[in-house]
Amino acid sequence: MDETHALLSRIAGALERLAPPPPDPATLAAGTTFVWRPAAGGLRSVPGGGAPLDLLLEVDAQKAALVDNTRRFASGGAANNALLWGVRGAGKSALVRAVHAAAAAEAPALKLIEVPRDALGALPALLDALSGAAVRAILYIDDLSFDGEDDTAKALKPALDGGLGGRAGNVIVYATSNRRHLMGRDARENAGHDLHWSDTAEERLALSDRFGLWLGFHALDQTGYLRIVAAYGAALKLPLAPDDLRTRALQWSMARGARSGRTAWQCIVALAGELGVDARI
């Protein structure tokens, strides 16, 4: 009997994790940024933050497009799911957070809910709860990609398209990825005689087609990199002459073998620590 009771308790616990309690309206009202952790009870409010929009440089076109899409959504208008794809460290995640912060300042009902990749399987429970909530929710999925026979991709489709009932009108998805098509590619896709694999490849690529807004992020040249470093340095009021800052920034990028917004910020953090400057923006 004790063994049966223990087994039933474990089964009940597993079911509760798969179907976490719906978000408390008071929790949603009290914050603007959240993380969806179904195994830990559901939604958890987290601090926002990050660089302000005016400090995100060299992504002007991407910034304008995402701001426009987000403001339309926040005001109840039609808007697209957005896929921000491209090179590492280009500012994709920072842009999502900054755009949400700017839009939420005008529309407090706009919420940003991060959905970790390992929580995608419980996404239907979150969608059901949000469908009746008096909020506008951006589901934010960072570093999204799939390899092999990954069934978690199927859990994302209802959030992008909806089922027979359509997509919830108060929910939109913003995802970042280093891959334009989200799915890993396979050499068998080039074998024209392998019809079965071609069908599989098409099914994988179809997921990215469900994002109506594609924003590409590409590698920086040296001028763009230095412009970002100078902007961060000015924002923190680093006590360095422009020529000295430029020299240190170039040395940092050569040591890292990369030029990106992330590399620029890491350089500034290192300099701020060396100079005893608070690196919070």
The pLDDT value recorded for residue 187 is: 47
Does 26 have pLDDT greater than 80?
A: no
Q: Where are the domains of the chain?
A: 2-217, 222-275
Of 8-22, 154-168, 187-201, which one has max mean pLDDT? Answer: 154-168
CA-based nearest residue to 93, from 270, 272, 260: 260
Instruction: Compute the average pLDDT of residues 165-183.
Output: 77
Does 19 have pLDDT greater than 60?
A: no
Q: Residue 164: pLDDT band by 50, 70, 90 thresholds?
A: very low
How many other C-beta atoms lie within 10 A of the C-beta of residue 17?
Answer: 14
CA-based nearest residue to 261, from 223, 215, 220: 220
- Sequence letter at residue 110: L
The phi and psi torsions of 234 (rounded to 5 degrees) equal -65, -40
Q: Residue 147: pLDDT band by 50, 70, 90 thresholds?
A: low
Alpha helices by DSSP H, the chain: 2-18, 25-30, 60-74, 92-106, 123-130, 152-160, 195-209, 222-236, 242-256, 261-275
Q: Which CATH superfamily is domain 2-217 in?
A: P-loop containing nucleotide triphosphate hydrolases (3.40.50.300)
Model pTM score: 0.82
* CA–CA distance, 209 with 83 (Å, rounded to integer): 10
Tokens at 61, concatenated: 């076109």
Does 189 have pLDDT greater than 70?
A: no
Does 96 have pLDDT greater than 90?
A: yes
Instruction: Compute the average pLDDT of residues 163-181.
Output: 76
